[in-house]
A and B are shown apart, each in its own frame.
Chain A
Amino acid sequence: MANLLKKVEKFDMDRRAFVALSASLGATAALGLTGCDNVLAKTTKDSPTVETLSGGKWVTVACPQDGCNKSCLNQAYVVDGVVVRQRTDELVEDSPDNPQYRSCIKGRSIRKTVTSAERLKYPMKRKNWQPGGGANVNGHLRGIDDWERITWDEAIKYIADEYKRIMDTYGPRAFLATGQDERKMCGGKIGSGILNMLGGCLTTFGEQSDGGAPVPSNLMWGFYDSGDTNGLDKMGQRHTKLQVLWGFNSGWCDGAANQYDLLTAKKQAGTKVILIDVWFNPTAQSYVDQWIPIRPSTDGALMEAVAYELITNNLVDQDFLDRCTVGFDAEHMPADAKTNENFKDYILGAYDGKPKTPEWASPITGVPVATIKQLAQDMGTTKPMSLKAARGLTRQWYGNRVTQLFYTLGWMTGSLGVPGSDTAILTGTWGTKNGQPLVKRGKNSWKYPKNPACSEPRASDETTFGGFDASREYGIAFSEWHKAVVEGEYTLPNPRNEKRSCDIKCIMCENARNASNAQSGNYLTVEAYRKVEFVVHQEMFMKIGPMYSDIVLPVKCHPELEFALRNKQTNESLIMGTNAFPQFYETKDDIEIYFMLCDELGFGEDIAPRTSIKQNMFEQLGNATVIKENGEEYETLFTITQEDIDKYQVKFEPQEGRTSFAEFMETGIYRLERSPNDNYMNVPLKDFVADPEANPLETTSGKLEIYCQALADWYDLCQLHDIDPIPKYKAAVHGYEDKKNYPDYKFQLVTPHHLRQMHSVWANERSLNEVFPNDLLISTFDAEREGFKHGDWALVTGLDAGQIVRRIAVLPIIAPGVAILGEGNWRNVDQETGIDIGGNANTLTRPHLLGNGYQAYNTVLLKLEPYTGPTMLPDYQRPLYVPIAD
C-alpha cells in the first residue's frame, strides 16, 4: 500500500510539474513537451507502441555534427511538433553492396541532445561584467559569477558596442577568434565575418585532426586529401588479401559507419587483418585476426625494423621502387638532394653504424623480435596489401617522421596501383575514384569579408600544403592560444622562430566549436579567460568556454534548421535534413546572429549579403552533380522545376537532371547504387603506377619521394620542429624513451575519439554516459603493480600540464604502460583545487608547437595517484548545469 501511495504521489507531482511548465510557456505548449522529455517518460507507464506512433510522420533530420566524416540517415517521428521516436535507415533493403546508412549511438540520441534540459535557452550576461573595460569587467569572477537573462537586442548591442570599443582602443590584434574556422553545429561558414568587417582579428593556425601528416604528404606525394585519393573504396577493399592497420579504430571513428563495409570486404576476400595499436581496440574485437601491441610513439622504430627485414630478406618490390620513387637507394636519388643519404643504407646502418634490426626495435616498441619478422614476412609476401593508418597515428610528437616512414613502408611493398592495394592515412575509411566524391554537393553564394589583419584560420591551408610566407601573419597556433593569452606572446613559424607579443582583450567563439575542450594545453583556460576584457560564446550548452564568458548566445544545431545538407565522406549520397523540432526557447542559428550583428553595426547587403540558409542549401543541391555510369564524367543531379523553386521561395533557374528534386525532398536522401562491377572503384594512383613518366605527380621529382628535399627545406624555413629528408625514427620528447627521466610518470597517454561523443558534442548526453562510460583505461598488468582496482578513482597528472580526476577501468586488452582516455569530456575546473573534475583529456596535454602547428595529443606522460578527495559521481549522475531555470 505504501508503494501504491508513493506511486500516486509521484505521478501527481510529475503531472503538476508538467502542467506548470507547459503553462509557463504560454502559447508554445508543444515546446514544453520536447523540453521536458524526462517528465514525459515518468508519466508514461507503458512503452509507446505502434498505436502511439500514429498521426505523425517520419522526417529526415541532419546529424548535428560536422566533425564526423560520415553522414548516416537519421529520421525522427514527429507528432504535432514533438519528436517521439527516432529511427535510422529503413528506406531501402539492407545489402552488403548497398547497406543501409545506419547511424551510431550519437545519431540515435539526437532528440535527447536537442531537447536536453541543459540546453542554453536565452541570451545571458554575466552579472558582474559591465562593458567598457577596466575594473567593471570583474574578470576574476568568470566561471563563478551568476547569470542574468537578457534580450537578444540587448545581447547584440553589448557585443557590437564592445567590438567597436575594443577595435577603436586597441586595434584588430586585440581580438582572438577561436571558433570561426569550422561549422560544427550550424549551417554555414561565416568566418569571423563581423570582426573582419570592423578591421580584422587574430585567428588560429595549425592542425588538429590531421596531425603531422599533411606537410610530408603534400611534399612526398604531391597531395594530401586525408586518403580520398590514395585510399581504397569499399569495392576495391574486397580485392585485398592482407589489411595492415596502424593505430586504426574505425569502429570508434566516424560513428562506425564503415566498420560493416570493412567486415564485409574481409569476409568476401578472405582477408587476413593485422592491427598494430596500443590496445586491442573495438575494431580489433570486430574483425582483426592478429593484434600486435606496441608502445605509444614508438611506431617509427617498428616501421624501420620491418623495412630492415623487407630489405634483408629480399621482400622489397624493387621494380615499383625503381619506377615510382626516389631516394630509396643510392641509384635513385632525386636531382635536388642536398645530402647523399638514402633510405636503404640508413636502415642498414651505413650512416650511424646501427642497423635498424628487429633486435634493435624490440626493446623500444615492446614487440617481440619474432613478431616483427613475421609482420615483415606477411607484408612482403601477401598481395594485394592494404596499409591503413588513422590520423591519430600522426598526432604524436614526431607525427611528421612517422608519416614519412609509414608511406615508405607502403611503397617498399608496392602497395599501390592495383585493385585491393592502398597506402593511406585516412580521415574516414575510404578513398573515392580520382579522390572525388561520387555525389558532389554544389557551390553556394555565401561569402564573408576577408580578414585584413591576419590569414584566414588554419593559415588558409597555406602551411598545410607546404607553402610558407614568413612575412604573413598566420595568427596563434591552436595549441598555444591559451598560453599566448596568458603570457602575452606567441611563437611565429619563421626562420628565426621568434616570439611576437599580443595583448588579447577579446576572445570570441562562434559556431559552438568550443576550442577549449579540443586543444592541447587547455589547463590554462581559466587564467586565459579571466585575463581579458570581453569573452563571447555562441553555444548550445554550458561548456568550459561559455562558462567563462560575459555574453552567451544560445544557438541551434542542424536538426533544428529549416534545411541542413550532409554528404561528407560517404561520398555516395546526399542527405537533406529538415527541421523536425519546434523553436527551442529563444535559440537562433549562427547565420541569424551574424545578420543581426551586421544590422546593428550598419553593414549592408553589399558587404554581407543576407543569403538565407534555405537559399544557400538550395544552391548546393541545385548545383550538385553525380558521376555518370562511365565512371569519369559528372552530370547534374537534380531536375528542378519552377514549382520547386516557388515552393521553397528561392532564387534558382529550372534545370534538367538525373533525378527529381521533389522526390528527393520527400525522403531526404539520394544514394548512388553500387555494385562490385561498377566503374566507380578506386584503384589508388593506377595511372601513375602504370606509367610514372607519362603521369607525373606534383612533387619536385614527379615521383613518390622517399628522399624529399622539399620537406627538409620547409622544416628549415618554419623551424618549429625537426625532420630529415629521408625517413628516420627519433625518440619523442615525453615518449617511451624519455620516461626513464620522469620516474613518477609511469604511463603513456593516448587520447582517441570515443564512440559515445564527437569531440565535446554529446559528452553530456546522459543515456550515452550511462551505457558507455569514458573511463581512463589501463592494463591489468599495471593495475596489479600500482595497486589500482577496476572502478577506483585516480588523480591523474599530465607531465608539465594539468590534473584531472577520473575513474579507472582495468582491462587486459591494454598494452602495459599505456593509459587511454577518450577526448571530449567537458573540462570542469574545481575552483578550490584547480583540478579538472570533468576529466578532459586535453587538461593533460601540453601547449607545444610542432611541424605546421600540429599537436601531440598522443605523446603524453602520465602520473596516476589514488584519488582521496570528495566522492565523485560517474558522468551519468553528474549534476545538470542549468544556469537560468525556467
Chain B
Amino acid sequence: MATQYGFYANTNECMGCRMCIISCKDKNNLPVGEKFRRVYDYSGGSWSVDENGVMNATDLFSYAVTSGCHHCANPSCMEGCPVSAIQKREDGIVWIDQDLCVGCGYCVEACPFNAPYKSTTTYTSRKCDLCKDLIDNGEKPVCVQSCQIRCLEFGKLEDLKAAHPDAVDVIAPLPENPGTSPSTLYSRHRMNPEGKLKGETRNAPEEIISETFEETFV
C-alpha cells in the first residue's frame, strides 16, 4: 500500500470540547443520536479528607480521548462483510459503500472500537470515511480542521509517527490489543505519563451510543 492516512490525537492538550464530533455531525448531516466520533472522558484517582477537613487527592488524572474510525491496516470490519460493502482505498481510508451495504451489522460487531453503527435512519452501517471527499479535494477532515486546540492532526501515518515519536497506538479506555493495527496515534497525558494509572470512562450513555429515537412533542 502506498500510503496510510491516519490521525494523531494529543490527549495531553485536548480539553474534551466535542468540536470534532459536532463538526463531523454537521458535515455528515447526522441526526440527533447518531455520530461517527466520540470523546471518552477517562479519569481516575481517589480522595481522602482528614479530621481537619484537609483534602488530598491520590493518583488523580483526567483526559479526553477522541475516537472515530481508526482506518486500521487490518480492518476486521472489512474482512467479514458479506456484501463487500466495506473497502480500503490505496491511501488507507476504510469506507462503507452505502449503495452496497445491507445493514446486516456484521462490521458493528467486528470492530473493536465501536466505530460503525447500524443507522436507524438509513438502515445501513455507517462510520467515518475520513472525509475522503475533502481529502481528495486537498483539504483536511472536518474534525481536524475545526479542532480549537489543534490537538487533532491528520496526515500520513509515517509522517505522524516521525513527528510524534513518543505517541502510542492505543490509549485507555480504548481496547489494549485490538489486533487490527489502527492508524490513530495518541500522546499520553502528563498526569498519567506511562498509562499505568487505571480509571473509568465517565460519559453519559448518549455520548457513547449511536442510535436515534422517536421524537415526542408537547
Contact = CB atoms under 8 A, between A and B. Distances in A.
Interface of A: 3-4, 6-7, 10, 38, 40-42, 44-51, 85-88, 90, 94, 99, 102-105, 108-109, 111-112, 251, 256-257, 259-260, 263, 280, 282-283, 285-287, 289, 291, 293, 295, 362-364, 366-369, 755-756, 766-768, 770-773, 775, 779-781, 790-791, 807, 809-813, 815-816, 874, 876-877, 879-882, 885
A767 B149 CA distance: 21
B121 A42 contact: yes
Given A108-B22, A286-B13, A287-B13, A50 B204 contact: no
B13 A263 contact: yes
A48 B29 contact: yes
A781 B23 CA distance: 35
Interface in B30-56: 30-33, 35, 39, 41, 43-47, 49, 52-56
Nearest to B53: A363
Nearest to A782: B47
Contacts of A102: 19, 146-148
Nearest to B140: A90
A468 to B, nearest CB: 39
A108 B19 contact: yes
A813 B60 CA distance: 7
A285 B204 contact: no
A108 B19 CA distance: 8
A235 B50 CA distance: 43
Interface of A is mostly: mixed
A87 B202 contact: no
B146 A88 contact: yes
Contacts of A293: 55, 57
Interface centre among A108, A364, A366 (most CB of B within 10 A): A108
Given A791-B204, A807-B204, 10 more contacts: A10-B123, A260-B150, A283-B15, A767-B25, A771-B21, A773-B206, A773-B207, A811-B41, A812-B46, A813-B60
Interface of B is mostly: loop
7 contacts: A3-B123, A42-B31, A102-B148, A105-B22, A772-B18, A781-B46, A877-B206
Contact of B15 (A256, A876, A880): A256
B26 interface: yes
Given A104-B17, A285-B15, A363 B54 contact: yes
A767 B32 contact: yes
A809 B204 contact: yes
A90 B54 CA distance: 49
A812 B199 contact: yes
Contact of A50 (B54, B121, B136): B136
B14 A45 contact: no
Interface stretch (B1-9, B106-114, B175-183, B210-218): B210-218
B87 interface: no
A313 B11 CA distance: 39
Interface string B179-218: 0000000000110000000010010111100000101111
Interface centre among A111, A283, A767 (most CB of B within 10 A): A767
Contacts of B23: 86, 88, 108
Given A874-B204, A880-B218, A813 B26 contact: no
Interface in B131-150: 133-134, 136-137, 142, 145-150
A812 B45 contact: yes
Contacts of B116: none
B84 interface: no
A160 B183 CA distance: 65
A283 B17 CA distance: 10
Contact of A779 (B21, B47, B54, B122): B47
A759 to B, nearest CB: 18
Contact of B49 (A285, A768, A816): A816
Contacts of B134: 50
A38 B49 CA distance: 50
A462 B149 CA distance: 40
B27 interface: yes
A59 to B, nearest CB: 15
Contacts of B207: 770-773
Interface centre among A88, A99, A257 (most CB of B within 10 A): A88
Given A47-B27, A768-B22, A812-B199, A251 B62 contact: no
A747 to B, nearest CB: 14
A575 to B, nearest CB: 17
B13 A111 contact: no
Contacts of B49: 366, 781, 816
A338 B209 CA distance: 65
A38 B31 contact: yes
Contacts of A295: 55
B32 A770 contact: yes
A812 B47 contact: yes
A364 B53 CA distance: 7
Nearest to B32: A766
B169 interface: no
B155 interface: no
A280 B121 contact: no
Contacts of A790: 202
B103 interface: yes
Given A41-B121, A50-B137, A105 B28 contact: no
Interface string B63-77: 110000000000000
A813 B43 contact: yes
B149 A286 contact: yes
B53 A366 contact: yes
Contact of B28 (A42, A47, A251, A283): A47
Contact of B18 (A10, A47, A366, A771): A771
Contact of A362 (B31, B52, B190): B52
A189 to B, nearest CB: 30
Contacts of B45: 780, 812-813
Contact of A285 (B14, B33, B121): B14
Contacts of B64: 285
